[in-house]
Amino acid sequence: EEPKVHTFNPFVFLPPAICDIVSTAILYIGLNLTTASSYQMLQGALIICTGLLSILMFRRRIEYYQWFGMIVVVVGLVIVGVTDVIMGAESNHSASEVMIGNILCVVSQIAVAMQLVLEEKYLHKYDVEALFAVGLEGIYGFIILLISLVPLYYIHVGSTFSTNPYGRLEDVGYAWDQICKDPMIAVSLACMIVSIAIFNFAAINVTKELSATTRTVIDSIRTILVWAVSVPVFHAKFIPYQVCHNVFVVKKTILKTWW
């Protein structure tokens, strides 16, 4: 008996690609206003958004210990946001701008959650290969961004959201000039491209074989790694209260492993 081939409309992966672009744009604006460690920690809000959307879309039931895990996440997020204001973040921006950056990082997780839940739905429904799904989203994202660069070039914003000479929201020429003049930027960009490609492939495999929620639980562990590297290597300010956040991350991972 020949294996059954699932046919589907490839444009079903267009909405997840759009969600990815929107979330990434908001995240990077937030990162520009806050610190790398806080940026990574605040992405823990994803587990809450994904869990709630999974309830709405897949009618999943949340057990009491899972609700407790979500409360733990909220406490961890509050710790990060408050410490940035009280203790002072290592940033060139004011406390209010840092708080805006933190809020943007959290808000962006709604779009990420929508992306993950939609991916889980279509991966399971049509039994799509993970690499094929990554390729489709990559093509859609490339086309959308290529078109978006034109209007973004003519949009001028304040110094809070743009540090290029002409205050453009997106200046391709200036970015290319920086890449050519500083080899480290080119190396960082190349490493980012490779790491994101591998990450997306591995993440979609986890989504297909397990679930979007499990993917977010596993992904949250890198928060500790980013924080641990940013303090000694990039001299980010060590805030003892953020250790509590990492403890909450470990507890959350244990509590929600069997989601």
In a domain, 220, yes or no: yes
What one-character-per-residue DSSP string does the chain give?
-PPPPPP--GGGGHHHHHHHHHHHHHHHHHHHHS-HHHHHHHTTHHHHHHHHHHHHHH-PPPPHHHHHHHHHHHHHHHHHHHHIIIII-SSSS-HHHHHHHHHHHHHHHHHHHHHHHHHHHHHHHHT--HHHHHHHHHHHHHHHHHHHHHHHHT-B--TTT--STT-BS--HHHHHHHHHH-HHHHHHHHHHHHHHHHHHHHHHHHHHHS-HHHHHHHHTTHHHHHHHHHTTTS-PPP-THHHHHHHHHHHHHHHHTT-
Count the domains in the chain.
1
In a domain, 2, yes or no: no
In a domain, 6, yes or no: no
Average pLDDT estimate for 93-119 = 85
In a domain, 67, yes or no: yes
Higher pLDDT, 49 or 6: 49
- Which pLDDT tens digit goes with each residue over 152-194? 999 988 877 777 888 888 888 899 999 999 999 999 999 988 9
- Which pLDDT tens digit goes with each residue over 77-86? 666 666 665 6
Please give the residue range of the domain that contains residue 93. 11-256
Q: Is residue 20 scored above 80 in pLDDT? A: yes
